[in-house]
Structure 1
């Protein structure tokens, strides 16, 4: 992957994407104090205060949106050295800024930015973090434990780390990175809590796991059903594991997420239209007016500024 490492970010960007901003973004995505007891119900609490996300992240997203996606400097240059104590939190803060914040605050015409710009950057950063030397990687509990974070914190952080691969429309990332990652987190969680993911065990016993199935509607149905009402961290981990595995039949069937078509100015196939009807338009939040504007921009090869 070409990261254009010879380029540097302009001051107009670095003035916004500061260590303080990255710490604040981390706190938005991982809001539980290190020293406090942490359970599943803490994790499951709503964290969708759009005003808070906007106050912290909006100006930085605007600054990033002024840069050329194809000539973007190395994202790691916005972070301290990977062997520093500050790196893990700031790296996750940057990932949250790119992957999670746009999901809270980029709607309507701005949804194109979420899926077509910031998702690309989040995936790029995730691949860079994935290729760090093993002793500097962020996926193992050891590094977070040394910073004082609990297994619960690490569980939530791992969900955030793997999210850009679930959001990708590249099937190989799902099959080669996301699914092994999910299986590993499930196994470690079962070992740590001496428990079993009963849903997954039942699927295995029946000979068909959700990721290997053709059930394109499982993802929308499961998300609509909501998070489990439990204080067990393991139950939340297993829920997110299932959600990520349920993305795979959609990508394998359509090669993309049909509910993003409006946001990206794409035409839907007849099969995709039927899928959207069957899922009651799950995940499709762009209205007709915004879709028309996005389509016009795509046809002209321009991007309407974030607004």
Structure 2
């Protein structure tokens, strides 16, 4: 028997050990702790995203090491996370694994990163998450992990569960400051809307306000502050249509400014006079405070990053 050929060491041994199916499944089942076939209480679903945070405590211990490991690589030195760490689309676990990876890259930084660490959310992890989403939605329809037909036929999921899944994939697109992603986001929410309307026979009431949703630059901060539908009897249709509106009203902000002005402070960017007026108008929504702004500006001017975890751990 001949000798086995030598193996080449992985350039990402820490990522290989941390970005595991176990982690991705844990994130998905913790974020969506519902039977796939059963109705979801969408009042609680919205509360747990926008008004409370039971998720972080469940996953922080396992997620932080993975986030720290990813942060130690420059963007151009990271592997294709979708290609390397997700199973083949034919794998039974592929759909949940995709969602788990996106929750790690997009949702958890927003929940866990505080102070100067929030720079890592918008200026680093968002780019990785958006790259992954482009790979996923660029797949043929019969392989896309957000497809209603696939979730229904392969996993027996009901429309409630699929609506929840679509939300978590769609937010990645609207968090982007690139206009092409905003256009994709509008297409994405329209796809969701059509499926929900077809399956339920209920029309989206926000359709009558479409012109306002896609033109009002103050609508997103206003609606976000008002919060999701609450109370008894919030249906999947009510939630899906509200969430679609909330995603769509990101686009006019990028159309007007080419970026989210409230991110200028955490990204170390100077605001234009128009942006300063806008930030004042929306009550400094989601803007980093002056102390954090100064620290980020110091890092940006010096061409460096304060290591992830400085303010959050």
Work out whether the TM-score is over 0.5: yes
Q: Distance in 1 between matches of 2:160 and 2:173?
A: 21
Residue of structure 2 aligned with 1:81, choices 79, 88, 92: 88
C-alpha displacement of 1:134 = 2.1
Q: Which sections of structure 1, spanning at least 5 residues, go unmatched?
A: 1-6
Counterparts of residues 108-187 of structure 1 (less than 5 Å):
108-145=115-152, 146-175=154-183, 177-187=184-194
What residue is the counterpart of 1:227 in the other structure? Answer: 228
- What's the TM-score, normalizing by structure 2? 0.89
Q: Map Cα deviations across residues 39-93 of structure 1 (whole Å, 9 max, x no partner).
A: 3224223141333342231111001101111222111211111211111101110
Q: Distance in 1 between matches of 2:11 and 2:141?
A: 27
What residue is the counterpart of 2:239 in the other structure? Answer: 236
Residue of structure 1 aligned with 2:274, choices 260, 267, 271: 271
What residue is the counterpart of 2:75 in the other structure? Answer: 69
What residue is the counterpart of 1:4 in the other structure? Answer: none
What residue is the counterpart of 1:255 in the other structure? Answer: 258
**Equivalent position SS for 2:18:** coil
Q: Distance in 2 between matches of 1:262 and 1:62?
A: 23
Residue of structure 2 aligned with 1:26, choices 7, 25, 28: 28
Q: Distance in 1 between matches of 2:41 and 2:246?
A: 20
Q: Distance in 2 between matches of 1:216 and 1:153?
A: 31
Counterparts of residues 206-221 of structure 1 (less than 5 Å):
208-211=211-214, 213=215, 215-221=216-222
What residue is the counterpart of 2:6 in the other structure? Answer: none
Q: Map Cα deviations across residues 245-268 of structure 1 (whole Å, 9 max, x no partner).
A: 110111111100011111111111
After superposition, the Cα gap between the structure-2 partners of 1:193 and 1:39, relative to the gap in structure 1 and judged at 3 Å, is farther
CA contact (8 A) 2:205 2:241 kept: no
What residue is the counterpart of 1:3 in the other structure? Answer: none
After superposition, the Cα gap between the structure-2 partners of 1:35 and 1:191, relative to the gap in structure 1 and judged at 3 Å, is closer
What residue is the counterpart of 1:288 in the other structure? Answer: 290
Structure 1 runs of 4+ off > 3 angstroms? none
Q: Distance in 1 between matches of 2:277 and 2:11?
A: 44
Q: Distance in 2 between matches of 1:44 and 1:225?
A: 12
Larger Rg: 2
Q: Distance in 1 between matches of 2:194 and 2:93?
A: 29
**Equivalent position SS for 2:157:** coil
After superposition, the Cα gap between the structure-2 partners of 1:280 and 1:172, relative to the gap in structure 1 and judged at 3 Å, is same
CA contact (8 A) 1:219 1:247 kept: yes
Q: Which sections of structure 2, spanning at least 5 residues, go unmatched?
A: 1-8
Q: Distance in 2 between matches of 1:127 and 1:301?
A: 29
CA contact (8 A) 1:8 1:73 kept: no
C-alpha displacement of 1:287 = 2.1
Q: Distance in 1 between matches of 2:31 and 2:268?
A: 29
CA contact (8 A) 1:39 1:152 kept: no
Instruction: Give the CA RMSD over aligned residues.
Output: 1.7
What residue is the counterpart of 1:106 in the other structure? Answer: 113
C-alpha displacement of 1:160 = 1.2
Q: Distance in 1 between matches of 2:110 and 2:274?
A: 26
Q: Distance in 2 between matches of 1:261 and 1:51?
A: 29
